[in-house]
C-alpha cells in the first residue's frame, strides 16, 4: 500500500479506480489492525473505512465503539499508509474525526434524508478542507441527494463525491437495496462535477451477489467501490452477511473485467450502431408526439359527449395486449408495462 495516493487529486482526475474497504463497524483494536494488515496486501485499496458511530434501527443493538475507535484508525493509518474514512451524523462526530486526523468523511443514507441534519453538518464543515462523500438517501429521491450536495457546496466544501448504495423498496428483490441505476445516472447528468462510487456491500446485502454487482457497477462506469471487509466476517457485530475477508476481496478484484471508458476512433462499428440508435430514438419521439395529438382529440370528443376520461376496462385490455405483444417480440414484460403506464398517464393528463 502506497502512501502517495492523493485523494484531492483523484477528485479532479479520476485517474484510477478508488477502492475503499474496511469493517462495517470498528469493534476492537485487534479486529481493525488485522483487517487493515490484510487490506495492505491489495494494491488497489487506497482508503480504510470503518464505522465508528452506527445509526442502528433498534437501540439495543451495537451502535459503535465511539472515540476510542478513532485512535485505532489513526494507528492503522500510521502502520499501513492508508487514508482513513468514517461516517459522521452530528457535528460532534466531525469535531472528533478531525481531532484524530480522519482523512475523508461520509454522510449516511439516513442522515441525507434529513435536510436539517445535513445543514448542521455543512455549517460544522465550513472552512474545512476535508473531502466528503454523500450516500444516496434511503428512498429513491434524487432531489434529496442533490440537496445534500448543494448544502455542503454552499458551505464551501470543495471536494464532494457521491456514494450509490441502492434504495429501499417494499418489492421483493435479490438485493438488500435495489440499485436503481437510473438514479445515479441522472445525478451524473445533472452534476457531472461530482464523482460517484458504488457501495457494493449495501446494494447486495450478502456475499453471493458481490462479484456480479461489482462487475455491473464497473460496466456502468463507476469511479470506485466501497466494499466492507472483516478479518472474521461471520463474527462481525454488524452486517456480518455482507462482509468478506481481505483475501476474498483480493480475489474478487482480480476477477473483474476492466473495460475501456471511451471508444477508439477507429471503432466504426460501435459508432454506426450508436447512430442507428439515435435515428430510432428520433422515430420514437415523433411517434409519441403523434400519439399525444390523437389523445388530445379523443379528450375533446369525450368532453363534447360527456364521457369520463378514464376507461379502466379498455386500459386493462390494452395494457395486457401490449405486454403480450412485447413478450412475443423479445421485450422485457416489466419494461413494456412501465413504458405504457407512463404513456397512458400522459395521455390522461392531456385529456383532463
pLDDT tens track for 297-325: 998 998 999 988 888 889 899 999 999 99
162 in Cβ contact with 136 (< 8 Å): yes
Q: Is the alpha carbon torsion for 250, 251, 254, 257 positive or negative?
A: negative
Burial of 75: CB neighbours in 10 Å, binned 0-12, 13-18, 19+:
middle
Q: Alpha-carbon distance 246 to 40, whole Å?
A: 9
The residue assigned the cell 464551501 is 156
Burial track 61-72 (b if 16+ CB lie within 10 A, e otherwise)? eebbbeeebbeb
Span 177-205, average pLDDT? 95
Q: Work out the mean pLDDT of the chain and round it to a whole number.
A: 93
* Domain positions in the chain: 7-255, 268-351
The answer for residues whose C-beta is within 8 angstroms of residue 284's C-beta and 6 or more apart is: none
pLDDT band at residue 263, thresholds of 50, 70 and 90? Answer: low
> Comparing C-alpha atoms, which of 168, 258, 177 is closest to residue 222?
258
The span from the CA of 164 to the CA of 199, in Å, is: 6
Reported confidence tier of residue 274, pLDDT bands at 50, 70, 90: confident
Q: Write down the H helix ranges in 46-196.
A: 67-80, 91-99, 109-112, 115-125, 142-154, 182-190
Does residue 60 register a pLDDT over 60?
A: yes
Which CATH class for the 268-351 domain?
mainly alpha
Q: Which pLDDT band, with edges at 50, 70 and 90, does 265 fall under?
A: low
CA distance 29 to 220: 37
Distance of alpha carbon 51 from alpha carbon 63, whole angstroms: 9
**What cell does 7 get?**
485523494
Distance, in Å, from the CA atom of 115 to the CA atom of 214, rounded to the nearest integer, reads 30
Say if CB 279 and CB 243 are below 8 A apart.
Answer: no
How far are the Cα atoms of 119, 242, 245, 316 from residue 207, in angstroms, in the given order?
A: 35, 5, 10, 41
Per DSSP, which regions of the chain are E strands? 18-22, 45-49, 83-87, 104-107, 132-135, 160-164, 196-199, 224-228
Domain 7-255 has CATH 3.20.20.70: yes
What's the pLDDT at 313? Answer: 87
CA distance 232 to 36: 12
Higher pLDDT, residue 266 or 107: 107
According to the model, what pLDDT value does residue 200 have?
97
Q: What is the pLDDT of residue 270?
A: 76
CA-to-CA distance for 93 and 99, rounded, in angstroms?
Answer: 10
- The CA distances from residue 109 to 26, 203, 220, in Å, are 19, 12, 22
Which pTM does this prediction carry?
Answer: 0.81
C-alpha cell at 347: 395521455
| Residue carrying the nine cell digits 437510473 | 182
Within 10 Å of residue 146's Cβ, how many Cβ atoms?
A: 17
229 by DSSP, 3-state: which?
A: strand
Amino acid at each position: 500500500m502506497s502512501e502517495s495516493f492523493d485523494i484531492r487529486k483523484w477528485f479532479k482526475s479520476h485517474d484510477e479506480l478508488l477502492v475503499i474497504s474496511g469493517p462495517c463497524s470498528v469493534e476492537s483494536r485487534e479486529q481493525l489492525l488485522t483487517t487493515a494488515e490484510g487490506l495492505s496486501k491489495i494494491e488497489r485499496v487506497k482508503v480504510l473505512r470503518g464505522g465508528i458511530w452506527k445509526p442502528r434501527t433498534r437501540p439495543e443493538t451495537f451502535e459503535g465503539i465511539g472515540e476510542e475507535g478513532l485512535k485505532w484508525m489513526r494507528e492503522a493509518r500510521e502502520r499501513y499508509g492508508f487514508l482513513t474514512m468514517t461516517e459522521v451524523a452530528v457535528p460532534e462526530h466531525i469535531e472528533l474525526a478531525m481531532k484524530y486526523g480522519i482523512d475523508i468523511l461520509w454522510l449516511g443514507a439516513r442522515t441525507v434524508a434529513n435536510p436539517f441534519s445535513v445543514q448542521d453538518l455543512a455549517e460544522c464543515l465550513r472552512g474545512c478542507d476535508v473531502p466528503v462523500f454523500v450516500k444516496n438517501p434511503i428512498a429513491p429521491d434524487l432531489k434529496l441527494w442533490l440537496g445534500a450536495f448543494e448544502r455542503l457546496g454552499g458551505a464551501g466544501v470543495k471536494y464532494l463525491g457521491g456514494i450509490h448504495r441502492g434504495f429501499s423498496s417494499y418489492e421483493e428483490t435479490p438485493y438488500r437495496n435495489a440499485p436503481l441505476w437510473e438514479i445515479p445516472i441522472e445525478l451524473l447528468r445533472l452534476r457531472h462535477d461530482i464523482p460517484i462510487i458504488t457501495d457494493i456491500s449495501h446494494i447486495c446485502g450478502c456475499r453471493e451477489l458481490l462479484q456480479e454487482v461489482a462487475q455491473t457497477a464497473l460496466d456502468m462506469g463507476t469511479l470506485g467501490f466501497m466494499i466492507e471487509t472483516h478479518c472474521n466476517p461471520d463474527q462481525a457485530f454488524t452486517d456480518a452477511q455482507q462482509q468478506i475477508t481481505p483475501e476474498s476481496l483480493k480475489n474478487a478484484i482480480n476477477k473483474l473485467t476492466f473495460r475501456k471508458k471511451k471508444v477508439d476512433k477507429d471503432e466504426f462499428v460501435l459508432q454506426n450502431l450508436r447512430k442507428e440508435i439515435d435515428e430510432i430514438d428520433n422515430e420514437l419521439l415523433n411517434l409519441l408526439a403523434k400519439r399525444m395529438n390523437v389523445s388530445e382529440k379523443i379528450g375533446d370528443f369525450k368532453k363534447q359527449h360527456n364521457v369520463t376520461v378514464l376507461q379502466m376496462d379498455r386500459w386493462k385490455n390494452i395494457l395486457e395486449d401490449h405486454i403480450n405483444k412485447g413478450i412475443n417480440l423479445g421485450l422485457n414484460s416489466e419494461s413494456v408495462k412501465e413504458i405504457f403506464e407512463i404513456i397512458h398517464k400522459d395521455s390522461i393528463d392531456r385529456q383532463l
